[in-house]
Structure formats: structure tokens, C-alpha cells
Amino acid sequence: MNVAVTVDAREDIPVWLAYGTPVFTVLAALAVSAIALVVLDVNPVAAYATMFVDTLVTEFGLTETLTKAVPLILTGLAVYLPLKAGLFNIGAEGQLVAGALAGTWIGLNVSLPGLALVPLMFVAAAVAGGIWAGIPAYLRAKWDVNEIITSLLLTFVALELQSYLLRGPMQGGTGNFPQSERFSEAATIPELVSGVHAGLLVAVCMVVVTYVLMTRTRLGFEITFVGSNHEAARQAGMSKFYVYLFVFVVGGAFAAMGGISEIAGAQGRYRAGFEPGYGFTAIPIALLGRNSALKVLLAGLFFAVLFVGGSSMEVAFGVPAALVEIIQALVILFLITAEFFKSYRVGIDIKRGPTETPAQPQRGDD
């Protein structure tokens, strides 16, 4: 029996596969995760009801979800935009931290009315995040240095810088906690609706700007063209150098705005470890929403539900935090795997028949 596995790129995606895949894969991931919940003597149906239903129907759950979605959407855009140009921005976490540090410094050291101070904090954060992201972008565009490695290494630099500043020049409060002074009212992002700060409005605006950029402008067309075939783009007169710089710098600015939104909107002061991996979670968010900025928005909301619902399940059922992270990771893994099957058709060809036997030696052969 011979088994042959073939992988062919799909020319078109069936409607049921395009729209049904996210639902089926999430259900499959939850079904696998239910095994671990049963082993821990936890009712999976009740646990998932707490994780999803309670999160979406209670005021507290909705507020937390929308608040948590702000940095996830903005960092998702930070990965999405370079992805359209064929680049991988793995360093959104570092750009988020760099922006949060710059915005915090402005918030603590500049005295202005809130109407001017908060926008200034966003501008400072965006500039810092753009510069932080511009380093790997320039190295990639100028000398073809792998942007995955450089952006990731700069993340560790940003985290070390954060640790130094919060234990040194920017440390405030009482005790030895690595945190800054609490923001004044003028430096705090105002509330948009009950419990949700105005950073959500910034995130939605950036999604709209990115959508218009990618679908209605010549620059958006060039970004997509360079990402599809940079050699053909070069022959058409498009500059890969400027496209690479643009998508990374703007992406870094997005991530940085996510950082200062979380600090000045939700936290009230800069605390070390305020970012539970927003920049890394942005990678599956961008992969899920890579076809449109609006899909990045939806993916960011979904992952916010996972974050908030996972914490609720942990508290309500005493589920270990590690298991909650495993459930979230399985959902991500299944979703990314499904994306592969949406792009490629896998075929298995099994041929049955008599197995070939080695030729018998004939009389007279040596």
C-alpha cells in the first residue's frame, strides 16, 4: 500500500470554509480543553458559560473586555501592517513598552491641562514606538537584516530598560515596588462610557485609518504589491525601502499608543509587568485578521474575551492559571491551523495493490 500526501494552494475558498472555520475551530479547541477540565472535576459546560456568556452579558465583563481590547487591537495593527508588506514585526511588545515609557514620562513631568496633556502623551508614545520600530525596519530595508530577529531582540532591550527606569529614575510611590507615581487627573485618559476609557475611541479610529489606507490609497496598493512580489514592485518603480520603513514605523506607533492607553487609561500608573504579552498575542490577532483591518478589530475583541473570560473561570472554578493559558493557546493553535487549511487543499492518495517483490534470481545468474 502506497500513501501519497499532496498539498495544493486553493484558487478559491468555499463560503462555508471561509465563514465556518473560525467557529468550528474554536469549538474543536474547547472540546479538547474540556478533557483537562473533566480531569480536574470541573463541569466544562458551566466553565465555558462563565468564560464566554458571563463575560458578554454582564456589565463588568463587557467593560473589562472593551478595556482589554484596546492594546490588543492596536498591537494587532502593529503586526498587521508590516505583514501586508511581507514583513514580520515580532517586536510589538517592545514597541508597546517603549511608547508607554515615553508617554508616562510626559504625563509625570509636563504640566498642562488634560485636553492638551493626554494628546501630547499619545504623540510622545507614538514617536518613541515609531523610532523603536524604525531600527529593525532600517536594517531590513538597507542591509536586508532579518527583521524577526532584530525586532525580537529589541523587545528584550525595552523590557530591561523598563526594569531599570522603574527601579531608578521613574520609581515612585512607597516601598520598593517597580512602579511610577500615580498619574494626576489631567494625565489620565478620560472615561468614554461607563468604565471604558477613551483609548477605545483611539483604537477604533486607527482601525478606520488603516482600513482606508489599505483599501483607498495608492500607498496601500504599493504596500500590498511589495508584500506580494517585491521584485515586480521594484520593476514597476515602487520603493521597497520606503514601504518597509513606513509600515514598521507606523506599526510601532500603533503598538506604542496601545501601551500608553493601558497605562494612562486602565492602570493609573506605570507598573512593571502591566503587559501580559499583548505584543506577542498580537501575532495571532494579525494572522487572523490579515485580510482586513476590520478583521483585526474583531480578532482583538475575541482575544480580549479569552483574557477576561479565562480570568473569570479561574476565579469561579479554581482552575489553575496555567490551564487557562493552555485553553487560550489551544484556541490560537487551532485557529492558525485552520488558516492553513483555508489556504491549502490537502489530499491523501492511497493505492492498494500487490506489493512488488524482489526479482527472483534466475538460473545462470551470478
Q: What is the pLDDT of residue 129?
A: 96
Share of the chain above pLDDT 70, in %: 95
Mean predicted confidence (pLDDT) in 68-73: 95
- Can you tell me the distance from the alpha carbon of 194 to that of 116, in angstroms, rounded to the nearest whole number? 23
> What rounded mean pLDDT belongs to the chain?
87
Q: Amino acid letter at 228? A: S
pLDDT in tens, 90-118: 999 999 999 999 999 999 999 999 899 99
d(CA 12, CA 150): 36
Cβ distance 251 to 77 under 8 Å? yes
Map residue 228 onto helix, strand or coil.
Answer: helix
Residues of the chain with pLDDT > 90: what percent? 50
Contact call for residues 255 and 99 (beta carbons, < 8 A): yes
| Interval 285-325: pLDDT, tens | 888 787 789 999 998 998 899 889 888 888 888 888 777 77
- In the DSSP assignment, the letter for residue 52 is I
Question: Is 70 exceeded by the pLDDT of residue 357?
Answer: no
| pLDDT confidence of residue 256 | 96
Q: What tens digit of pLDDT does each residue of 232-244 get?
A: 888 888 899 999 9
Q: Go through the domains of the chain in sequence order and give each one's CATH number.
A: 1-42+319-346 (no CATH), 69-317 (1.10.3470)
Distance CA 85, CA 80 (A): 9
Which among 102, 101, 154 has a CA at the least distance from the CA of 123? 102
Contacts of 54 (CB under 8 A, 6+ apart): 61, 309, 312
CB 162 within 8 A of CB 101: yes
The Cα 120–Cα 266 span in angstroms is 18
Decide: pTM greater than 0.95: no
Beta strands at 196-197 and 344-351: parallel, antiparallel or unpaired: unpaired
Is pLDDT at 330 greater than 90 in this prediction? no
Each residue's pLDDT tens digit, 169-213: 899 877 778 889 999 999 999 988 888 999 999 999 999 999 999
Say how far apart CA 121 and CA 106 lie, in whole Å: 6
Could you give the 3-state DSSP secondary structure of residue 189? coil
Cα–Cα separations (whole angstroms), residue 92 to 19, 67, 236: 28, 19, 31
| pLDDT band (50, 70, 90) for residue 284 | confident
DSSP state of 366: -
Q: SS3 for 347?
A: strand
Q: How far apart are the first and last CA of the chain?
A: 32
What pLDDT score was predicted for residue 353? 61
pLDDT of residue 366: 45
